[in-house]
Amino acid sequence: MITSWARGLARHRAGRLLAALAGIALAVALIAALGSFLTASKATMTQRAVRSVAVDWQVEVQPGADPHSVLRQVRTAPGTRAALPVGYARTTGFTARVQGSTQTTGPGMALGLPPGYRRLFPDEIRPLSGSPTGVLLAQQTASNLHAAPGDTVGIQLPGAGLRQVRVDGVVDLPQADSLFQKVGAPPQSQPTAPPDNVILLPADRFASLTRGATALTTQIHVARDASLPADPAAAFTAVTGAAHHLEAKASGAALVGNNLGAALDSARQDALYAQILFLFLGVPGAVLAAALTAAVASAGGQRRRQEQGLLRLRGLRPGQITGLAALEAALVGVVGGLAGLGIAALTGRLAFGAASFGASAGTWAIWYGIAFVLGAAVAAGAVLVPALRDLRSVTVADTRKETGVRPTRSPWWMRCGLDFGLLIGSWLVFRASSGNQYALVLAPEGVPTLSVSYWAFLGPALLWIGAALLVWRLTLLALTHGRPALARLARPLTATLAGTTAAILSRRRRPLARSVVLLALAVSFAVSTAVFNATYHQQAEVDARLTNGADVTVTEPPGAHVPPSTGSTLKVPGVRHVEPLQHRFAYVGSDLQDLYGVRPDTIARATSLQDAYFAGGTAHQLMQRLAQRPDNLLVSVETVHDFQLSPGDTVNLRIQDARTKALRTVPFHYAGIAKEFPTAPKDSFFVANAAYVAKATGSDTVGAFLLDTGGTHQKQVAAHLRKHLGTSATVTDLTQTRGTVGTSLTSVDLAGLTRIELAFAVLLSAGAGGLVLALGLAERRRTFAIATVLGAKPGQLRGMVLTEALLLTAGGLAGGALIGWALSEMLVKVLTGVFDPPPASLSVPSAYLVLTAGAAVAAVLAAALNGIRSAGRPAVEELRDL
């Protein structure tokens, strides 16, 4: 019997089975693909964090401890690949006599590097000119002293006097922040910037020059090769534990500066954000695929009840009928699950070059197994559970009625207003979770665990469910009480059968409303995912441009006297405009802040100034205020709050006078707020009129030049300028900055996640639009046949089908667009930690949304045309088959 039943299902119910299989396959494929991608992304974050560190550990030998003993302990510690001692000596200044003039600098640092240091830590030192070994000057120091390879430099060492060395080369120190960190100090007490003046010496030369000097320390620089877990949080815990173990073993003789742990600390937060994005953007798609499967199964509910009644009349016991239903559920679950795993593997192979999406074999298999089990559970819930319910609640007599046991009352959730309650709850949760000091991910400094404000998930979840129920309510109300309007709508297509068509639509309001809701949810999933992804990439580009300042930026070293006219020499081929930007420092009270002098009329020609960067006026308005009244000043939000400023208040800044070198009080007037500004820090700074600053300080010296290349050829222009300027200035381009300012979440490319989701969103929209309609029309062939017998013309039948398709398309697309817009607004706000800076407006990917809408319309049209073709069969033949 089981074999015959399975054969009959395959022969007579192939369409329904294939539709259910497609729903299961989509759900399984989406979960398997997203889960594997998430795991691979976490592993990539860990790998990138490890590669970003030049020196894994900087172990500082404490006063009174034996450096040789500490070095032995470090080298024998588990996971240590190599360790070298580095000497640190504070200097009171450097001197150099170049071309008849003597140049001096302020305090700095001298380092003693042992042989093999550059080979072991290649990313710590980048040669610029001269020899890569020997006595090496940092670029900043060489610029301050006007020194070059071959020149002699004097080092002032406390307790040892002046020592002379000959410079062999000039180098850059890409990771100077960590190289000169205060080992063991919390981030808030770290120096704001590395020392400007640095000289690197061979270890033996360092030892001879610093003999008798004070303020000497020794650090052990460590490279580790211990295998780390793929998850950044687990890797952070392992590395931190190893560092603490070494400190405990050294008994106070050593303190570990854990650079590797710091990098993983940042990556673990980004990994958690990736996991949250998986939940926010991926789970709705899987839920939607499961709902689509349930809708497909319920589309044949009436026929399934009739089949059960026939089996019961023929003497089958409930247990046997349950077994047959379980067979159908197993067939759908197993075949659909295997198809879904195949789709996921194919997606990974095509999009990422591997069926595992780059994840390890173990985690890849786990996610595929989880997806398959969930697919089987969805199949059981969609096919087996309704069959068991019908066995308990539907009699044989009920199965002979076409209407079955359809309830006449409104659903319970409509009577109690659940949809309105969910929407109000969503708004309340959203207001609370997006209030002041809100953070979705909390990462206490140095704590190996992260906490997530999971209740913030309630806002989008309640909105999604509540909006779906509201669309359901509105559709039911329109179909119940809008029969006259439906008749007028159907009249151009159905002529004299307009009233009959309206009556049929009203009678079928429940399945039609369900179809509209499914299509609306599928479209909203596509809209919210696409808009979030486009907005994310928009803000990543904004962040890079804010950090770099422009397409290409030439930054002059501190203390260099470069006038604005120098910009003309930077207008090389490919550069459209060169904009000088002053960078000074000013005291407001006892607080030292960055001061940027701009030319208000031309600054926007080199860099983008968005209105979201300012408060108290648009970007254009505030630049006009600086131009019209030169003593106007734009102040950061933090400074406005700290000093209780009101528009028009006088702000007295103390700025260094270029002639006397003394601080001079310069009055300004508070004219607006600058939340962000190109090249400026993220906390406290001022923006002023460059001409006013130059007049007040007696110097028009420029700190940086912003170069506009029209958005193209940034790398080529930057390379040309580096060759032209040598070590006299630092040249950065937007493409270089784009890869360094982003978090590790950015580095794994969120588009990988959304490429998967957007592809499935199109399929879900097409399935929700056409699949359910096609099955519903197939189940109503008897209705069309009877209408034909009663005299309905083919054109009228065609009009009935097209009217239903039109209602489904219009309602689903309109509802989906509104829900998607609301979800996008809420998602961007709730996931505020992903965006830096927050977007001024959402980015709408019109091309993708048109594609999604087109796919849904095409699927509905295809289903309608198939229904029309079926309705055109001879009525007698159709009734005989049924």
C-alpha count within 13 angstroms, C-beta hemisphere, residue 528 = 32
Q: What is the CA radius of gyration of the chain?
A: 35
| DSSP label of 12 | H
CA neighbor of 267 nearest in space, from 244, 225, 226, 234? 234
Query: Is the domain of 485 the same as that of 577?
Result: no
CA neighbor of 312 nearest in space, from 399, 422, 210? 399
Question: So what's the pLDDT on residue 585?
Answer: 87
144 part of a folded domain: yes
Query: Is the domain of 594 the same as that of 525?
Result: no
- In this structure, which long-range contacts are made by residues 600-606, counting pairs with CB atoms below 8 Å and at least 24 apart in sequence? 600/624, 600/626, 600/627, 600/689, 601/627, 602/577, 603/579, 603/706, 605/577, 605/579, 605/708, 606/550, 606/577, 606/578, 606/579, 606/706, 606/707, 606/708
Between CA 866 and CA 869 the distance in angstroms is: 5
Between CA 727 and CA 170 the distance in angstroms is: 8
Between CA 447 and CA 871 the distance in angstroms is: 67
Q: Which residues contact 186 (CB under 8 A, 6 or more apart)?
A: 445, 446
Instruction: Give tens-digit pLDDT for 164-198.
Output: 999 999 888 888 888 998 887 666 556 666 888 99
Tokens of 829: 């706000």
Question: So what's the pLDDT on residue 208?
Answer: 92
The answer to whether residues 387 and 20 touch, using CB atoms and an 8 Å cutoff, is no
Query: Is the domain of 686 the same as that of 832?
Result: no
149 part of a folded domain: yes
DSSP lists the bridge partners of residue 550 as none
Distances in Å between the Cα of 838 and the Cα atoms of 437, 510, 718, 741 are 14, 42, 29, 15
The answer to whether residues 673 and 615 touch, using CB atoms and an 8 Å cutoff, is yes
Query: Is the domain of 218 the same as that of 87?
Result: yes
Question: So what's the pLDDT on residue 317?
Answer: 74
* H helical segments located in 353-457: 361-379, 385-393, 396-399, 412-415, 418-433
Question: So what's the pLDDT on residue 691?
Answer: 94
For the chain, the domain total comes to: 3
SS3 113: strand
| DSSP label of 21 | H
Largest pairwise CA distance in the chain: 114
Tokens of 698: 């007696």
Between CA 564 and CA 370 the distance in angstroms is: 63
Query: Is the domain of 538 the same as that of 556?
Result: no
Tell me which residue has tokens 């020149």.
Answer: 151
The answer to whether residues 83 and 256 touch, using CB atoms and an 8 Å cutoff, is no
Query: Is the domain of 684 the same as that of 768?
Result: no
The answer to whether residues 578 and 568 touch, using CB atoms and an 8 Å cutoff, is yes
823 part of a folded domain: yes
Query: Is the domain of 673 the same as that of 785?
Result: no
- The secondary structure of 618-661, three-state, reads CHHHHHHHHHHCCCEEEECHHHHHHCCCCCCCEEEEEEECCCCC
Question: So what's the pLDDT on residue 554?
Answer: 92
Terminal Cα-to-Cα distance of the chain (whole angstroms):
22
Query: Is the domain of 858 the same as that of 778?
Result: yes
663 part of a folded domain: yes
Helix, strand, coil percentages for the chain (3-state, nearest 5) = 60, 15, 25
497 part of a folded domain: yes
Tokens of 199: 């000289």
**Rounded (10°) angle between helices 458-481 and 509-548:** 140
Tokens of 170: 């000039």
175 part of a folded domain: yes
Q: Which residues contact 182 (CB under 8 A, 6 or more apart)?
A: 189, 190, 191
Indicate the pairing of strand 101-104 with strand 93-98.
antiparallel
Residues comprising the chain, all counted: 882
Whether cis (ω within 30° of 0) applies to the bond prior to 837 is: yes
Tokens of 116: 């093999």
Between CA 752 and CA 675 the distance in angstroms is: 31
Distances in Å between the Cα of 105 and the Cα atoms of 93, 302, 445, 586 are 5, 89, 36, 21
Residue type, 43: A
Kindly report the number of other CB atoms within 10 A of residue 665's CB atom. Answer: 10
Q: Model-level pTM greater than 0.85? A: no
Distances in Å between the Cα of 155 and the Cα atoms of 137, 160, 197, 505 are 11, 10, 11, 91
Residues (pLDDT < 70) of the chain are 1-15, 185-193, 277, 281, 297-316, 351, 358, 390-408, 434-454, 559, 739-754, 775-787, 789-792, 832-837, 870-882
Q: Which of 229, 247, 267 is the last residue of a domain?
A: 267
Q: Which of 653, 684, 708 is the last residue of a domain?
A: 708
Between CA 485 and CA 135 the distance in angstroms is: 89
Q: Which residues contact 725 (CB under 8 A, 6 or more apart)?
A: 554, 731
Instruction: Give tens-digit pLDDT for 123-155.
Output: 899 888 888 899 999 988 887 888 889 999 999
Query: What counts of helices (H) and strands (E) characterise the chain?
Result: 33, 25
The answer to whether residues 133 and 118 touch, using CB atoms and an 8 Å cutoff, is yes
Between CA 318 and CA 81 the distance in angstroms is: 69
Between CA 237 and CA 222 the distance in angstroms is: 18
**Rounded (10°) angle between helices 385-393 and 318-352:** 160
C-alpha count within 13 angstroms, C-beta hemisphere, residue 165 = 24
726 part of a folded domain: no
Query: Is the domain of 571 the same as that of 599?
Result: yes
Query: Is the domain of 545 the same as that of 558?
Result: no
Tell me which residue has tokens 């509802």.
Answer: 815
DSSP lists the bridge partners of residue 198 as 109
SS3 760: helix
Query: Is the domain of 766 the same as that of 679?
Result: no
Query: 819: domain range?
Result: 467-549+741-882
Q: Which of 205, 237, 267 is the last residue of a domain?
A: 267
830 part of a folded domain: yes
CA neighbor of 469 nearest in space, from 291, 302, 290, 297? 291
CA neighbor of 384 nearest in space, from 337, 336, 322? 322
Query: Is the domain of 663 the same as that of 694?
Result: yes
Torsion of CA 245, 250, 251, 256, to 10 degrees: -70
The answer to whether residues 103 and 95 touch, using CB atoms and an 8 Å cutoff, is yes
| DSSP label of 201 | E
